Structure 1
Amino acid sequence: MKLYQMPISHYCEKVRWMLDLKKIKHSTKNLLPGLHIAVIHKLMRKQSSGFPSTSVPVLKDQGKIIQGSDHILDHLDLLYPQPSFMPVDSELKQEVLKWEEFADQKLGPHVRRCCYYYLLRDPSAVIPMFTYKGPWYGRLLMKFMFPQLQAAMRKGMQIDQEGFNKSKAVLDEAVQTLASHLSTRQYLVDERLTRADIAVASLLAPLIRPQGYDVPWPQTLPEELTQLELEYQPVLQWVDKMYKNHRKP
C-alpha cells in the first residue's frame, strides 16, 4: 500500500489519521505542490477516459488506485474493516456521512483558502511545509518556483479578498453549527469516535495546528490567523481534544 500525498494537506491528514488508527502498514510518497500534477496524472490516467483530476490524496493498494479522502476511507473500511469507525446502525451511519459531506463542503476548502490568504505572503513560512519530508532538492527548487506556484494557487483557489470574505462567512456559519451541536456532547455521532469526528477535526486542524498533525508549522503566525483561532473557540478546543485523545504524535 502506498499513499501519494502532501504532508500539509488536511485531506491527506484525514487519510493518514485513519491509516494510523487502523494500524495499516503503508509507505508514503510526499509530493511537491505543483510538481505533483504530473505524478498524479500518470497514476490516474488509466482510471479516467477524460483528463483526470490531479488532486491528492491518492492511495495505491492491491492493484487499485483510489483518489479522494472519502473514497479512500470507504476502501479502507471495505478491505480493512477492523477497527471500525462507522456505526452499524443505518441511521447513525447516515449521520456520519452527512457530517463528512459537511466537512468537505463547509470546512475543507474554506479553511485552506483562509489560511493561504495570509500564509502565501510569507515564503519562509510555507516553503518548509510544502517541502516537508519530500525530495532532497525540494526546498531549493521551491524557492525558485514559488512565485509561479503562488500565482497559480491564488488563481486556481480564488485566494483573494473576495474569496477570503466568502470563505470566512461560510466558516462562521459552520463553526456556529458545530458549537451548537457539540455543546452537550463529546463526539459528533454516537458516543465514540467515528469518521465524522476524524473528518471535521482534520479539516479544521490547520487553524489550531495540533500535535499529531506532522507538519513544521510556522512558529510565528500572522496576527489575523491568531485572531481567527481565538474567534473559533471552543470548537477548535474540541479539535485539539480529539487530537490529544485519538491522534498520537
Structure 2
Amino acid sequence: MKGKKMIFPETFKIEKISVPHLVTIPYSHYCELGRWALDISKTEYKEMKYMPGYHVSIVGGLRKRKENRSNSSFVGQESSHHGGRRKYSVPLVAMPDGTILKDSWEILEKFVGPVDPYWKDLLDNKLGIAVRQLVYFYFLNPKNKGLLDNILKQTSLAERIYWLFFGGIVKKSMYELMDITEESIEKSKKNIFEVFEEASEKLASNSNSLTTESSFSPTDLAFCALGSIAIFPQNYSRNVISLGNLEDFPKEYQNIINHCRKTPAGKFIIDIYDSKRII
C-alpha cells in the first residue's frame, strides 16, 4: 500500500480486466502465499488491497456464486461458525476470462504446482489458523494500538475513515470469529511450535525440503508463507505492506518469534526469504 495516497482503494470490474487481479488483505499470511505464487511464476498481475471490513462488499460480490467460495480454512472456523463466512475470504484471483481462483491453494496450484496433501492439511488447518489467531491477538489489542495504526496509515483515506467509525465493531467481530482468548492463544503457540518442530525434523531428513523434490517445492513455499509471521522475515510481502519493526511488538510476541527463528524450520524460512523473496 505504498506510493501515492488514495481517497478510495481501487476497484475493478472483472469483465474489463486484461491481467489477473489478486484481491487481498495485504498483511495476511494467506494472501502472502497467493502473492508469492504469482511472483515466483513471473505472472503479470495487479494486486487489489483492502482493510478487513471494507473488503466485504467487494469480495462478497466476486464470490456471489457459491462455486466461487474459498475451500481453505477461513476466519470463523476457529469458533465453529458456518461456512458462509467463506464468501468473504481472501485471497482470490479474478482471471481475465471471468473465472475465480478461490483461495491460496488454488492460486498456488495454478501458477506453481500442487502441495503435498499431508502438509497442505497441516499447514492450512493447524499452522495457518494458529498464526492468524496469534497475529490478530496482538494487532487488535488496544494496548498495541501503534501496530494497527502503522497498517492503517498505508491505506486509503476512505478505509481509515471506515475504521475510525466501524473499527471497534470489526475488531469485536474478529475476536469472536477467531475465538481469540488468552487460552486459545496458548494453544496457538503450542500448535505453531509443534508444526515448526515437525518441519524441522522433515527438513533434516529430506535434504532441506519438506518433499522429495530436488528444488524449492510448492510445499516449501506454502510452509514459508504461512509460517512467515511467526518468523518476521525480511522481504515479507516483497514490501507490499510494512508490518513495522519487530521491536514495536510486545516482548512476549518477540519471544515467540525468537523461539521460532532458532529452529531449523525457522532458519529455513529466513534463508528462503533472503534468497527467493528478493525485492
Confirm whether residue 147 of structure 1 aligns to residue 171 of structure 2: no
Tell me by how many angstroms 1:68 deviates: 1.0
Structure 1: which 5+ residue stretches go unaligned?
77-84, 87-92
TM-score between the two structures when normalised by the length of structure 2: 0.77
AA at the equivalent of 1:66: L
2:151 counterpart of 1:129? yes
Which of these residues, 4, 13, 21, is aligned with residue 40 of structure 2?
Answer: 21
Report the CA distance shift for 1:22/1:48 in structure 2 as closer, same or farther (over 3 A): closer
Any unmatched runs of 5+ in structure 2? 1-19, 70-83
SS of match in other structure, 2:23: strand
Give me the whole-angstrom Cα distance separating, in 1, the residues matched to 2:124 and 2:105: 9
Pairing 1:96-245 to 2, within 5 Å after superposition: 96-121=116-141, 122-129=144-151, 132=154, 134-184=155-205, 185-189=207-211, 190-213=213-236, 214=239, 215-219=241-245, 220-232=248-260, 233-234=262-263, 235-245=265-275
The percent of aligned pairs where both chains have the same amino acid is: 24
Mapped partners of 1:49, 1:140: distance in 2:
30
RMSD: 2.1
Instruction: In structure 1, give the amino acid aligned to 2:26.
Output: P
Rounded to whole Å, the distance in 2 between the matches of 1:145 and 1:124 is 18
Report matched runs for 1:47-86 at 5 Å.
Answer: 47-48=66-67, 53-61=87-95, 62-76=97-111, 85-86=112-113
Deviation for aligned residue 1:69: 0.6
Shift of 1:131: 6.1
In the alignment, is the contact (CA less than 8 A) between 2:54 and 2:159 conserved in 1? no
Listed one character per residue, the Cα deviations across residues 188-216 of structure 1 (whole Å, up to 9, x for unaligned) are 12221111111000011112222222221
- TM-score scaled to structure 1, two decimals? 0.85
Q: Secondary structure at the match of 1:59?
A: strand
**Hey, what's the Cα distance between the residues in 1 that align with 2:276 and 2:68?**
40
User: Cα deviation per residue 1:122-175 (whole Å; 9 max; x = unaligned)?
Assistant: 23202433563x434323432333222211111010111121122222222212
Structure 1 residue 97 displacement after superposition: 3.0
CA distance in 1, matches of 2:42, 2:204: 31
